[in-house]
Structure 1
Amino acid sequence: MSQVHEQYVEVAPGVRVWTERRGAPDAPALLLVMGAQASGLGWPEPLVEALAARHHVIRYDHRDTGRSDRPFDENPYAVTDLARDAIAVLDGLGVERAHLVGMSLGGMLCQLVLADHPERVLSATLMGTCALSETPYVRPDGVRVPVAELPGIAPEILEMWSRPVEDHGPEAELDRRVEHWRLLSGDQLPFDAPYFRELERGIIHHAGRHLESSAHALADSSGMVRTAELAANRVPVLVVSATAEPVFPVPHPQHIAQVVAGARLVEIPGMGHALPPAVLRPLGKAILEHAAGGAVESVPAGR
């Protein structure tokens, strides 16, 4: 395992976030940006280690997650502030430019950084997310589909998200999180419940608490559209198309690839809105090939 360095970075007055770095300090920086209400430890160790073989890898806890400060209840912030936090993390660690990898909300935050601070980005890899663009999706037959008519989140996930989270203790919370990952994983790969239970047990231990914050779900999500800026993008962008994705299903990845200038698409069959062991090798390979500027080949999960 590569050497790990932990550090707190101030991203706004009085607001600190936890960061972790590994890999050679003089290697190209690669910033991992997790999804809503998710700790940086949501990026699995094998993937982080694989990326650290060639990069100075940085992962961090968003505000109101993990070991970072939790200011939302007293000082609410917007989703766009979370994108500014990504830049503040780079600033705080003395990183001029980085490869970005974003999942779910993290993919949206990476798009905001691409649009607003392209000079800080070497490349970007986006997965499990949607385009911050109002440009319609063009189907293979040429029909233009308005963004509002693209497929939505799977009903069973929306139903789970609608339920209030009650505190029945750490083990019951682990049960809830594992069930959440089962739904997010889709139905094309066998679900590894023990893996996700251990992942979440580590996240709870890291945070020192077992209840998640709802801050990101409550944060102001206005002002995120970047249609013109993404259409003028000049940074290399890779979009991961996960065939079992239940939150932003096909054709959301294809839409992103259409509206972000120069973006390329890679398919990982079997992948859903999760990072189980079976997808880590093809995903890591795709990220590394893209960051190196080479051709990216679609690889089935489990290979």
Structure 2
Amino acid sequence: MRPQTRYAKPAGGYVAYQAFGEGARDILFVTHWGTNVDAMWDEPALAHFYQRLSRNGRVICYDKRGTGVSDPVPLATLPTLEAWMDDARVALDAAGSRRAVVIGDTEGGPMAMLLAATHPERVEKLVLLNTYARWRRDDDYPIGMPAPTVEKLVSLYERHWGQDPAMMHLTAPSLEGDARVEEWFMRYQRLSMPPGAATEMFRWTTQVDVRSVLPTISVPTLVLHRKENRHYRLPFGHYLAEHIPRARLVELPGADCYPLFTPQADDVLEEISAFLSGAPVEVRVERELSTVLFTDIVGSTDLVARLGDSRWLDLRAAHDDVVRRHLAAFRGREVKTTGDGFIATFDGPARAVRCAWLIRDSVRSLGVEIRAGLHTGEIELLDGDIGGIAVHLAARVMGLAGTGEVLVSRILSDLVVGSGIVFEDRGVHELKGIPGPRQLCRVVRVP
């Protein structure tokens, strides 16, 4: 029986979701970026996979904005990991789920990792299935795909999307030659999104880098990876297991990874069932991934001397009101004020940058200039306050910012790929009290 498709509406458009099955736990399934929750039930083998998965609990599936039967997005402003994480939270809330096991499959993995690190109170356990923290090769990531290979794959996606099953032959070679499945696969691609959008979406997924998130994941994690996987290669799985605390890696035989419903999927379901057996795990949340913002009024001492105490207090009150209005608009949480500045946290780095940028522009109408520093990292939750090296790092970043400048760590800029935010390299710096050099970036444009 097909589950009913329902809609939830966050800021920015409608998100389509389904909830099916019963059980003591909820399971959020986050898969490849090209989905259609209605059309996936047209393939009996895929329907059977989800029905078997639902024996472990109530399964929640959704189409991310920009795909399937959720609202489209402009190609010029593709969703970020942060926006897709918001879609997942919206689907959970709409389904009435307080906490769920999260399964991050293929390109859904990076977003699932970000969700688990940012909202550990919503994630009971994490399963990472044939996925990666970064796709592209770099000097400190030799297991990644070389740039020419990535560009070749992007070109293949554009040429074959919805017209040829060649990509399925790469990701599920056991299905090659099955004419019925090949026809369904091409139709499913067409119903997910048109080729232009698919090409841009795939290009974006190859630029994602969540390596900095991995050490902050505190929930029990299972990494499942196919040994002969040619698309999401086995070293990707090894890297995840080595960098996520206490994660367990299971290497599975075979090469099939997407779509899920090949005969090889049985061992995936068995491993997931074994991992989920037993009572739900309760985790006391004392640490989480956050973006920390520090702001500071430039030349506040001179302003006090020039204006006098009374006028300065009025100006600071007007400044504080502007800051708090923008924090509320971007889901920022005020931690405390510092006399002439603010400390705040955000559950998304792009939101934090946009908030800081608008605060800077808005307070200029008061005749005030600020500087701002941001960093994304693990913070300690200290009974209304925050602590940890991420907080100190954000403070040091602000200390290097010039008048009217919004300065961020390189880690943050890596997490907002696709947001349209433009950065300029500000070089590598040694930050007082922070081990190791840190690359910083200046925000130069915010869409």
Sort the TM-score into its range (normalised by shorter chain): 0.7 to 0.9
Tell me, yes or no, if structure 1 residue 230 matches structure 2 residue 214. yes
Counterpart of 1:101 (choices 103, 110, 116) is: 103
Q: How does 1:258-269 map to 2 (within 5 A)?
A: 258-269=242-253
Q: Percent identity?
A: 23
Distance 1:248 1:68, change over 3 A: same
CA distance in 1, matches of 2:29, 2:111: 11
Residue in 2 aligned with 1:182?
169
**How far off is 1:244 after superposition?**
1.9
Residue in 1 aligned with 2:122?
120
Cα deviation code 1:88-140 (max 9, x no counterpart): 2111222101111111220111100111011111111112221369xxxxxxx
Q: How does 1:183-222 map to 2 (within 5 A)?
A: 183-186=170-173, 189=174, 191=176, 193-194=178-179, 196-200=181-185, 203=188, 211=195, 213-214=197-198, 215-217=200-202
* Structure having the larger proportion of residues in helix: 2
**How far off is 1:155 after superposition?**
7.4
> Given residue 5 of structure 1, which amino acid in structure 2 is its aligned partner?
Q
The count of corresponding residues between Structure 1 and Structure 2 is 270
> Given residue 33 of structure 2, which amino acid in structure 1 is its aligned partner?
A
Residue in 1 aligned with 2:4?
5
**How far off is 1:149 after superposition?**
0.7
**How far off is 1:71 after superposition?**
1.9
Q: How does 1:134-173 map to 2 (within 5 A)?
A: 147-152=140-145, 158-163=151-156, 165=158
Residue in 2 aligned with 1:136?
none
Q: Which runs of 5+ in 2 are unaligned?
A: 280-447
RMSD, matched Cα: 3.3
Further displaced range: 197-206 or 251-260: 197-206
Equivalent pair of 1:30/1:99 in contact (CA under 8 Å): yes
TM-score (norm 1): 0.76
TM-score (norm 2): 0.53
* Matched position secondary structure for 1:277: coil
Q: Which runs of 5+ in 1 are unaligned?
A: 134-144, 167-171, 295-303
**How far off is 1:49 after superposition?**
0.5
**How far off is 1:255 after superposition?**
1.1
> Given residue 110 of structure 1, which amino acid in structure 2 is its aligned partner?
A
Counterpart of 1:254 (choices 232, 238, 242) is: 238
Counterpart of 1:33 (choices 30, 34, 41) is: 30
* Structure having the larger proportion of residues in strand: 2
**How far off is 1:164 after superposition?**
7.3
**How far off is 1:197 after superposition?**
2.2
Equivalent pair of 1:46/1:280 in contact (CA under 8 Å): no
Distance 1:276 1:120, change over 3 A: same
**How far off is 1:204 after superposition?**
5.7
CA distance in 1, matches of 2:261, 2:149: 20
* Matched position secondary structure for 2:75: coil
Residue in 1 aligned with 2:113?
111
